[in-house]
Amino acid sequence: MSADGALVLAQDDVAVTLLAASQLPASLHILQPEAAREVASPLVVRGEGALAPGYALRALVVDDRGDLLGQGELKFPADAMVGATAPFSGTVRFTSPAASCPGYVVVEQVPAGSDSAFARAAVQVRILAPRRP
């Protein structure tokens, strides 16, 4: 009851903000492999990023000419929360070049069924040729 005798009912409001995937933070950070490292297939890729619902996470290995040597799917842990930074990992198998060369490991977050990247990160690496016996 208020000072003037009126009955006051307590009210509790909860605000919920819904974000479209395009409004989520678009950040990816590659932790493994590190820049300038030598890499061979199969390659383990690890990093951190913000989970966006309906988006796939993939890693690509490209040579210094931009030719795609291979790609693979990366996964967030099952308990990762949407919009929160979480670790991701996966293994990429790729075709090794005839001679070792510079290249890139690229991680992309793409909408399901699309090739347009929502977020992208890359590290330059040295891609090793297959070992000869």
Q: What is the mean pLDDT of the chain?
A: 86
The string of pLDDT tens digits covering residues 23-47 is 555 689 999 999 999 999 999 999 9
More confident residue, 110 or 9: 110
Q: Does domain 21-127 correspond to CATH entry 2.60.40.10?
A: yes
Mean pLDDT of 11-31: 63
pLDDT at 117: 83
Residue 49: HSE in the Cβ half-sphere, 13 Å Cα cutoff = 31
Which pairs with CB-CB distance under 8 Å and at least 24 residues apart come from 75-83?
76/49, 76/51, 80/51, 81/51, 82/24, 82/51, 82/52, 82/53, 83/19, 83/24, 83/25, 83/50, 83/51, 83/52
pTM of the model: 0.79
So where are the chain's domains? 21-127
pLDDT at res. 23: 53
Instruction: Determine the Cα–Cα distance for residues 20 and 1; give it in Å rounded to an integer.
Output: 43
